[in-house]
Structure 1
Amino acid sequence: MRTTRARTGRGRRRGSWSVAVGAALTLTLTLTACGPEDDSAGGDDGGKPVASESSAGEHKIRIPDGVRDRLKEHGIDLGKWENGAWRKWDKDTWLRKAEDYVNPIIDGLWDPDRMRRAEDPQKKVDDGDLADDRGVTDPAPAPVEAAAVTPPYHDALPEAGKVLFDSPEGSMVCSATVVEDPAHPGKSNLVWTAGHCVHAGRKGGWYRNIAFVPAYNNAGKPTAELEKATREEIAPYGVWWSDWAQTSKEWIASGGPTGGAGAPYDFAVLHVTPENGGGKSLEETVGGALPVDFAAPSAAKTASLTASGYPAAPPFDGQALYQCPAKPGRLSLGPEQPTMYRIGCTMTGGASGGGWVGRNADGEPALVSNTSIGPVRGGWLAGPRLGKEAEDVYRAVSDKADNLS
């Protein structure tokens, strides 16, 4: 989620929802996502045809067919990229447009320590952003205490996991959900998250080294034990790199680290491929995928939604999976923007992108939103109400999948 305040230090963490608020009436909203960290190594191939492969020390970069040419078009030298050029965020070379997405796989980049120490990205909104709400916004909901999911997480929520990525501020983390692919029933490689977990919005571009880890820390090990955990223990279902991602044109045009602009369109869909190859899809590997409901009822007609995620800002540390079941209300950020869902929930930064699950017309569980913003002190979350724009993004990534396989 996104906050309005500068990040404070908690060990290596730079982002926090618990920052002191300067004025009592200031409302600060945060994107629940990720945070900076050391640059190490880790990567994945996904079993696709390899057009280029080189090595640097213990790591190597793997480029599926077609990606190498796109990299060259953007002036990216593969050898330099692998050896650290991806850490350079020059605004003149930061890829920004929807069609510019490239995400070369670097073997070993997401090692256990790097995964564990990635932090949450944040977005802020102050009370001025809520001033012209057309009288639509409901009273702020009472906080709902986030409940820890009983491990193993895969048994309770096989579709849930983390999105890891690198930003100019360092290594970051969001939450995400495996969703069905209408073009590949039972064999989906699609993941739903927040737009601010993949793209910086109006003043930035695509983040790098984007990967999905289903059932992160599946056994629910305490943080102290994770310091010595193997990659298999932290990522029992593997690391899945995003070979394609798409977010809304509205997020790219207006989204940012502060203010409410873009938040009602703060969603994204990833197509992923397994780091270590293999013939099974993500859905087959984890044993499930949620349908997405683009015709979900309004907040007034919705009895309950359940938000899930890995909150990372204090008092949480990003290593455990939590849930908040709550009755949704409405949040309006302005007369020109769609109304968002809002629920009471104490999850903090890191939960961004996590799925909100309700019941579809058939009474079956379905994803109806994702966490986007929340106040810096915690207490509630807001997520976009998914409509035509979200469905267009979803269908476009599904259609793209055949060209990536």
Structure 2
Amino acid sequence: MSVPRRRGRRTALAASALLAVLALTATACGGSAENKATDRPDATASRAGDDAGGEVRVPADLADRLKDHGIDVDRWRDGGWKDWDKDEWLREARDFVNPVIEGLWKPERMHSAEEAEKTVTTKDASAAQGLSDPEPAPVTAVAEKTPYHENAAPVGKVFFDSPEGPAVCSGTVIKDVNHPGRSNLVWTAGHCVHAGADGGWYRNIVFVPAYNDHGRSEAELSGADPSEIAPYGNWWADWASTSNGWIQGGSESGGAGAAYDYAVLHVRPEQGSQSLEETVGAALDVDFSGPTAAEAGTTGAWGYPAAPPYNGLRMFKCLDTPGRFSLAPNLPDMYRIGCTMTGGSSGGGWFRVAGGETMLVSNTSIGPLDHTWLAGPRLGADAEALYQNMSRTYGGR
């Protein structure tokens, strides 16, 4: 049974502050976001390639990693990445490979991507009922204002290939503490980069910030220039990290890995040389203090829901006061908010205002079959260690 929450003037003011600070963040990183857009990679400059190939750049170290796993580089270039044989599906944390295939992610292919959704059953949701707060009242997702680069510049879409075909999640540009002002880091969900206990790393992982910047309809985008879809170009993950908890315990419904369902990407542009943060003009800090649900205050979730009644073309958001959610007594509790966003919003950042600064505090992980709420992991010491390792090892590339 849903229990509505009281939302007083204080909550409304906190929500307004969150929206205002996020919008300011989008233009506070050295000049306006529109000026930054002029420095973006030329989306039309990518050499066109079909789904089976295209131009592939395979750095020496990546080629060596492929060879270490018995994978022929030329075979991979010619479409060998489509081989999802379970015995050869790269699984371990050190196994990630993701050569750039220019022109693979065309607008039509992006739009065909299926949502990467993790839904829990009523039985799952009630497994640790005594440790969870009452189910929140649904909060109807609201479309973000356009253009997105002025209102939620750090948010975008994460595309990848799975054995079932092209898939899509959401992600957020985050700051790199060891490379200030030049971050190439993106925060998303673990299930958007790795299949969990029954699989391995997904392939052809790309981040597209401010996807469909002006929120055009499908009809309006027919025949549109690629820059309308990807105003800042495509950013390929040259490394990805997710938690051991997700790799070992993640499942189709989230499973025991849901409480550890987070990931960090290090990306590079398909075209261009500036960092992601410099190109987009914004990035958010991550709050690794792991505040309790009661301490988190008003929290907003942003993303691109793609399952009906949404179509993945527009960015949406939900604001609510989170409660505790637990899948089992032996697992860390998660945050839960009311929200009607569906699959495709997975991996999208959850933001809160702390000390006047908007910070990423979680990401969308799981939700119920009726799409009335979302749950995301609390980010603590383990998440911070993963982030710091990514920053120190790959951040300067």
Q: Kindly indicate whether the alpha-carbon contact (under 8 Å) linking 2:184 and 2:268 is maintained by their aligned counterparts in 1.
A: yes
Q: Kindly indicate whether the alpha-carbon contact (under 8 Å) linking 1:124 and 1:260 is maintained by their aligned counterparts in 2.
A: no
Counterpart of 2:344 in structure 1 is: 350
Secondary structure of the residue aligned to 1:262 is: helix
Q: Kindly indicate whether the alpha-carbon contact (under 8 Å) linking 1:174 and 1:354 is maintained by their aligned counterparts in 2.
A: yes
1:6-405 to structure 2, matched below 5 A, reads: 59-133=54-128, 135-258=130-253, 260-278=255-273, 280-360=274-354, 362-402=355-395, 405=397
Secondary structure of the residue aligned to 1:229 is: coil
Q: Kindly indicate whether the alpha-carbon contact (under 8 Å) linking 1:237 and 1:285 is maintained by their aligned counterparts in 2.
A: yes
Identity within the alignment, %: 57
CA shift for structure 1 position 263:
0.3
Aligned AA for 2:279?
A: T
Aligned AA for 2:98?
A: N
Aligned AA for 1:366?
A: M
CA shift for structure 1 position 80:
1.7
Q: How many aligned positions are there?
A: 350
State the TM-score, normalizing by the size of structure 1. 0.83
Deviations 1:154-206 (A, max 9, x none): 10001000000000010000000000001100110000000000000001000
Counterpart of 1:49 in structure 2 is: none
Greater shift after overlay, 230-239 or 55-64?
55-64
**CA 1:63–1:325: 2 relative to 1, 3 Å:** same
CA shift for structure 1 position 402:
4.8
Q: Kindly indicate whether the alpha-carbon contact (under 8 Å) linking 1:246 and 1:393 is maintained by their aligned counterparts in 2.
A: yes
Distance 2:225 2:395 in 1: 33
Q: Runs ≥4 in structure 1, deviation > 6 angstroms?
A: 54-58
Q: Kindly indicate whether the alpha-carbon contact (under 8 Å) linking 2:170 and 2:348 is maintained by their aligned counterparts in 1.
A: yes
Deviations 1:85-134 (A, max 9, x none): 11110001000000011101111100111112111122232233234426
Q: Kindly indicate whether the alpha-carbon contact (under 8 Å) linking 2:120 and 2:369 is maintained by their aligned counterparts in 1.
A: no
**CA 1:338–1:103: 2 relative to 1, 3 Å:** same
Deviations 1:58-82 (A, max 9, x none): 8211012311111111122222212
Q: Kindly indicate whether the alpha-carbon contact (under 8 Å) linking 1:56 and 1:83 is maintained by their aligned counterparts in 2.
A: no
Distance 1:116 1:56 in 2: 14
Secondary structure of the residue aligned to 2:176 is: coil
Aligned AA for 1:373?
A: I
Deviations 1:211-266 (A, max 9, x none): 10000000111012223222211001010000000000010001011353110100
Secondary structure of the residue aligned to 2:255 is: coil
Distance 1:259 1:159 in 2: 26
Distance 1:316 1:62 in 2: 35
Deviations 1:368-389 (A, max 9, x none): 0000001111111000011111
Q: Kindly indicate whether the alpha-carbon contact (under 8 Å) linking 2:161 and 2:167 is maintained by their aligned counterparts in 1.
A: yes
Q: Kindly indicate whether the alpha-carbon contact (under 8 Å) linking 2:50 and 2:104 is maintained by their aligned counterparts in 1.
A: no
Q: Is there any run of 5+ residues in structure 1 with no aligned partner, and where?
A: 1-45, 47-53
Secondary structure of the residue aligned to 2:312 is: coil
Secondary structure of the residue aligned to 2:342 is: coil
Higher helix proportion? 2
State the TM-score, normalizing by the size of structure 2. 0.85
Deviations 1:301-358 (A, max 9, x none): 2320000000000000001000101111110111110110000011000000000000
- Note the aligned Cα RMSD (angstroms): 1.8
Aligned AA for 2:295?
A: K
Q: Is there any run of 5+ residues in structure 2 with no aligned partner, and where?
A: 1-40, 42-48
Greater shift after overlay, 81-90 or 97-106?
81-90
